Structure 1
């Protein structure tokens, strides 16, 4: 008793005597303090406490740690294994109290961790420490951590409930009401003390408000099942995810319910229909890759904890063959669809629901695609890609319910499709790049089957009669000659006899038709061999039976012909898009200018045409927003909807359009964090950046001329901006205006505009940013920047009035050349710019002059735009 009294006196001294008023984050709302740390006598703590603490202090200091700190309940978990992440560190000490954490918080602070998860107070209560005193200790921990390590995010977890059913730890299990009181205080004061409150108490309670019996064997400490629930509850905080799984594409109908389906132990996948055996195996394999134990059964009665796959009637307004209904509950998951493809679609959603590999939140989903064709195209004629890399992209397509893989292997650069009739087509001497690289018969068959297993249709394109210079080099004749036409017919016959595909794309774009019989004859032949034909529009002299793939806005006349089916690829070329702009543009699109498909408007295909040579195949993925664009297109083509017209803007921050984009962006970034580790996914958060746009200022053609926003006396808070714009990439005027709108509604030549924003930093530090002023299309002979400039428009950028220097270009002044690979011209594939930020608000100002909107040539369009956005993991 004497020792306890001494301890309480020392604690009060420790708490109250170490604060001096200064302007730093405070202990009491509205008050500011600098907190000084003193150490309590060692005699107040157990030998185990000191054993653990000396051990902690001897461990290496590592970056980006995620620390769990607390008492025996924290101490008992294998956190790094539980989350499969070595960044997560256990700083629990059995028997510890809030004063003990205060005493050792410096060991945490010195590491400057990314996050701290605190759960403390359970052991204070049996000592008859008041809830107010415990609360004050916890808030002092929060204040001191914020003061000494401002960038560390603190999560204060509620005290867990207790249960007296086991008649153990009576001093603890009798404190249920005090626990509730303390949790209420912690929740109420979270904002004031700069922490995030996590309610563990409610989910751990049974109907009587006590710790769920199955989670414990003594009423206080947790068993394995309890730690799995803990993981499920804090998982989104640990990995910066949305509170519920971020499903993408978002289902047409989604309702979250109460409860969880457990994935641990042994889960049984049940299907009584042999037609779904393949899908059951797909799910089983995917779950086992997650480390989950799974078995198969053909009767529900054989299973206690089961996932059932079944065929049944699922109503949907369109595309019923792909629709599914998914219901997840505490004891079962039932996935019903009209077809095996619908079941496969539902499995992709279910796997996203399994994000933490321990529980699936209860939900009811009814889902179907708005468009029947949801495609992705890759040009492997110009730049060869290995089968392995293609399969990587096909896997991503399947996971996000895309179902058309448009494969383009023949080009002017090279013919990359094996022909046994004409083997010279793939001879290295007739290729201009990646010489000798082509797809054998077995390669293409492997890709076709790989797609089929994932309910993806591979659509091969043999481009004719245009884009056929490689054919002419190899065969010595033009395709449109009589001899060339016969060779083409033989190739088509060989192809159709060899490959089991329903469609053959004949291209036929960007060519002067000199032989009017060429296309009608090859179309008739292809159709007679059982293949449906697709061609580009604008293109050649097609028959109405040919499905048109639109690539220019002028092709909208096709949609008026009820005899023609068509696909949309207009302004869906990722090779022309800035990474941040790509997601904005595609998310806002209406595919086929419609909110949903019909018998004629089949859907769309997003394309990667990397005309420019690359140094290696991975550069296609690095220099183009392949995965961000693919996922944005997956969302829009599955969900339908979108906005009329084409735009590169997010919209004003609180507009309906901006709110919808922000919600999607959060889900997109969750997908990046969870499923694209180690892959190129060149997209970062941008919807939180809001810019004030000032102008126009008449520069009379002098792009160096200065205006008021550059003057020291300019006060942005007193000036009304012309526009408010949101995003990390702002396109002032799109280079394809007026088809695509930018920030400025009626842009004029010879004007200068300024953009200004503020960004917050918790401390003085260096931060990496993407900064750019000219997104190089990967399909043009664009000239490299002049040394010492960001671009040829004399654009400038300041942070806190300090000019940010442009990169030291590796190839300044380089004239554009498709055979010279890009190397550092794009912000997404060069080292980010490091900028020193001060603690507090930092002002960013961008100068954006423009002269004529007409570029020096079509290879160098005037891209009046800029990118400034923080790059963070």
Structure 2
């Protein structure tokens, strides 16, 4: 059979998902609002033409053409085709959608043609991203009909480059991923206490290396930022720059010798704003204004008025400073819900959407279950949300931000939720009871997420593995009276799990027994008590005797806290233990044993996602895993060392 013949290509299309362990149909992410699979498929081998008769869509047609050529598919643009030709058509038309019509699209893939219709070129761009996912095997596109639109208008991703500089190349990589999954806001945070990384020709001393505490001398020139703005615009992404004021301004004070809120400081800030707004073509300027005592009541009103007079809309953090109602608020604490009751204020949700505070497996669970703005869809006031990466702690190199935080798993999960809408009321770190609708919905999403990882992220960090198939029996509570080493029935040899009824059944690779931000975020245990010990047990199947890699962890260190490193010979400071087939699994030999928390010392092996996996010998058949989970007081040593009562145990199967 010829390797280019129709029969071979059809066979390749049919076996493709089995060869690469993928879902039978392309795992579209975000999932379209309306999707119907039809019989048949469109052969890409005969699609030589992209039909585009509207000059306004030529730029988007070139996006599709270039992407197809990277797949080895050669196509040309044309404004007409013969009736007999197979083609892909891009056209503007009327696509009805209940909201955000400017981003809506209709995509029909038949056996002889593909027609993508949208109300605007941005809708066409969104449809192209879906079409490229449908082309997963580069051979056929399954016949389907899709009508799609986003539930929320603002679907954003934020990166803090003030604390830890990231190269333009790495930023572009993240922007490319955003575009592929229909995120449309890139929140760029380049000024901080650590360093001011935004060039000012008026005040070049702001980016002088001597005033930076990390990555000295690294900053973004005017041409860098203009390049990033254009790079975003070309992908229908709005770059939202943040110049944080008057807080988070230690680098400004060192460089200028004055406090921002002084009269002299205010004048300098006004000059910086004028320079910025006349230099850069962006519609918004984020002024921060969080985590600071306002000592000059005229500071924010005057800089807001100035910024608005220069044609920019203003965004600020909430809770934050003394804003006018015209300022868009970005919520960062649960207490900010009062803003949503004021119909004069537009707002964005970033509450509990900081990836640097999340265990990778937990991040996907939490974000998937979230209701953005506590709503199932956006409105005129609830614009959407922004998921954030605040890696406060110093890193050894820029790639560590990507490997130590669940950047891409979190980004894709947020893309799903912010496009699809929906979610569940309340905040939770749990998948849900096995076989419930909530657990089934998560498993369906996880299958699509892992398909995306397999297909598009082989060369990028993607710290997530399958967990929805792992079910634990949870036994307890046992009163340990403050003795975390005390042993109870489940770790005794005579304990027969098949005869004991567990208190809970829980699903997942990371189980949060009680969240450190309880009660805002629920964990496995409904009413957790101090000085108790619980046990978790599961069975893992192996087809043969072998060594298998596992992620094992008990205290995911936030990348934003001065958290102490574990003591030698322990998994964590709660005396947690883990056994496989009654054999105790030894904790890592920590490289920062018992180190006092320090934001200037980069993490190195404290998280399971960025250290070598633990190798465990499995026997053929069922293997019993048992985890001991004691806890004393829920009050941590300090806010930098909260009690994280949790564990991770999951096979690393790439």
Same fold (TM over 0.5): yes
* Structure 2 Cα separation of the partners of residues 657 and 872 of structure 1: 24
Q: Secondary structure at the match of 2:45?
A: coil
Matched, 1:331 2:116: no
Q: Secondary structure at the match of 1:302?
A: coil
- 8 Å contact 1:266–1:295 — kept in the other structure? no
Structure 1: where are the runs of 5+ without partners?
1-219
- 8 Å contact 2:534–2:628 — kept in the other structure? yes
* Structure 2 Cα separation of the partners of residues 853 and 473 of structure 1: 39
* Structure 2 Cα separation of the partners of residues 302 and 520 of structure 1: 63
Q: Report the alpha carbon displacement of residue 702 of structure 1 after superposing the two structures with TM.
A: 0.1
What does the per-residue CA deviation read over 1:56-93, in whole Å, with 9 as the maximum and x for residues that have no partner? xxxxxxxxxxxxxxxxxxxxxxxxxxxxxxxxxxxxxx
Q: Report the alpha carbon displacement of residue 301 of structure 1 after superposing the two structures with TM.
A: 3.0
Q: Report the alpha carbon displacement of residue 678 of structure 1 after superposing the two structures with TM.
A: 1.4
What does the per-residue CA deviation read over 1:516-547, in whole Å, with 9 as the maximum and x for residues that have no partner? 00000000000000000000000000000000
* Structure 2 Cα separation of the partners of residues 514 and 491 of structure 1: 20
* Structure 1 Cα separation of the partners of residues 84 and 314 of structure 2: 48
Aligned to 1:607: 388
- 8 Å contact 1:323–1:342 — kept in the other structure? yes
Matched, 1:831 2:608: no
* Structure 1 Cα separation of the partners of residues 449 and 273 of structure 2: 41
Q: Tell me: CA distance 1:302–1:504, structure 2 relative to 1, closer, same or farther (3 Å).
A: farther
Q: Report the alpha carbon displacement of residue 300 of structure 1 after superposing the two structures with TM.
A: 3.6
Q: Secondary structure at the match of 1:300?
A: coil
Q: Report the alpha carbon displacement of residue 249 of structure 1 after superposing the two structures with TM.
A: 0.1
Aligned to 2:415: 634
* Structure 1 Cα separation of the partners of residues 417 and 519 of structure 2: 23
Matched, 1:320 2:101: yes
- 8 Å contact 1:297–1:303 — kept in the other structure? no
- 8 Å contact 1:268–1:303 — kept in the other structure? no
Aligned to 1:542: 323
What does the per-residue CA deviation read over 1:357-394, in whole Å, with 9 as the maximum and x for residues that have no partner? 00000000000000000000000000000000000000
Matched, 1:277 2:48: no
What does the per-residue CA deviation read over 1:407-452, in whole Å, with 9 as the maximum and x for residues that have no partner? 0000000000000000000000000000000000000000000000
Which of 242, 247, 258 is the matching residue for 2:23? 242
Q: Secondary structure at the match of 2:477?
A: strand
* Structure 2 Cα separation of the partners of residues 567 and 299 of structure 1: 44
What does the per-residue CA deviation read over 1:743-780, in whole Å, with 9 as the maximum and x for residues that have no partner? 00000000000000000000000000000000000000
- 8 Å contact 1:320–1:368 — kept in the other structure? yes
Q: Tell me: CA distance 1:221–1:461, structure 2 relative to 1, closer, same or farther (3 Å).
A: closer
- Name the count of aligned residue pairs: 654
Q: Tell me: CA distance 1:260–1:497, structure 2 relative to 1, closer, same or farther (3 Å).
A: same
* Structure 2 Cα separation of the partners of residues 598 and 732 of structure 1: 35
- 8 Å contact 1:428–1:435 — kept in the other structure? yes
Aligned to 2:211: 430
Q: Report the alpha carbon displacement of residue 302 of structure 1 after superposing the two structures with TM.
A: 7.2
Aligned to 1:656: 437
- 8 Å contact 2:47–2:75 — kept in the other structure? yes
Q: Report the alpha carbon displacement of residue 267 of structure 1 after superposing the two structures with TM.
A: 2.1
TM-score (norm 1): 0.75
Q: Secondary structure at the match of 2:91?
A: strand
Aligned to 1:858: 639
Q: Secondary structure at the match of 2:82?
A: helix
Q: Report the alpha carbon displacement of residue 650 of structure 1 after superposing the two structures with TM.
A: 0.2
- 8 Å contact 1:575–1:778 — kept in the other structure? yes
Q: Secondary structure at the match of 1:847?
A: strand
Q: Report the alpha carbon displacement of residue 223 of structure 1 after superposing the two structures with TM.
A: 6.6
* Structure 1 Cα separation of the partners of residues 597 and 213 of structure 2: 18
Q: Secondary structure at the match of 2:48?
A: strand
Aligned to 2:163: 382
- 8 Å contact 2:3–2:9 — kept in the other structure? no
Aligned to 2:402: 621
Q: Tell me: CA distance 1:277–1:847, structure 2 relative to 1, closer, same or farther (3 Å).
A: same
TM-score (norm 2): 0.99
Q: Report the alpha carbon displacement of residue 222 of structure 1 after superposing the two structures with TM.
A: 8.3
Aligned to 1:74: none
Q: Secondary structure at the match of 1:563?
A: coil
* Structure 2 Cα separation of the partners of residues 251 and 412 of structure 1: 42
* Structure 1 Cα separation of the partners of residues 630 and 29 of structure 2: 39
Q: Report the alpha carbon displacement of residue 811 of structure 1 after superposing the two structures with TM.
A: 1.1
What does the per-residue CA deviation read over 1:603-642, in whole Å, with 9 as the maximum and x for residues that have no partner? 0000000000000000000000000000000000000000
What does the per-residue CA deviation read over 1:694-750, in whole Å, with 9 as the maximum and x for residues that have no partner? 000000000000000011100000000000000000000000000000000000000
Q: Secondary structure at the match of 2:397?
A: coil
* Superposition RMSD in Å: 0.9
Q: Report the alpha carbon displacement of residue 551 of structure 1 after superposing the two structures with TM.
A: 0.1
Q: Tell me: CA distance 1:586–1:222, structure 2 relative to 1, closer, same or farther (3 Å).
A: closer
- 8 Å contact 2:104–2:148 — kept in the other structure? yes
- 8 Å contact 1:265–1:293 — kept in the other structure? no
* Structure 2 Cα separation of the partners of residues 519 and 222 of structure 1: 67
Q: Report the alpha carbon displacement of residue 227 of structure 1 after superposing the two structures with TM.
A: 1.1
- 8 Å contact 1:407–1:460 — kept in the other structure? yes
* Structure 2 Cα separation of the partners of residues 456 and 547 of structure 1: 18
Q: Tell me: CA distance 1:295–1:303, structure 2 relative to 1, closer, same or farther (3 Å).
A: farther
- 8 Å contact 1:687–1:727 — kept in the other structure? yes
Structure 2: where are the runs of 5+ without partners?
none
Q: Tell me: CA distance 1:266–1:254, structure 2 relative to 1, closer, same or farther (3 Å).
A: closer
Matched, 1:770 2:551: yes
Aligned to 2:248: 467
What does the per-residue CA deviation read over 1:444-497, in whole Å, with 9 as the maximum and x for residues that have no partner? 000000000000000000000000000000000000000000000000000000
Aligned to 2:232: 451
Aligned to 2:624: 843
Which structure has the bigger radius of gyration? 1
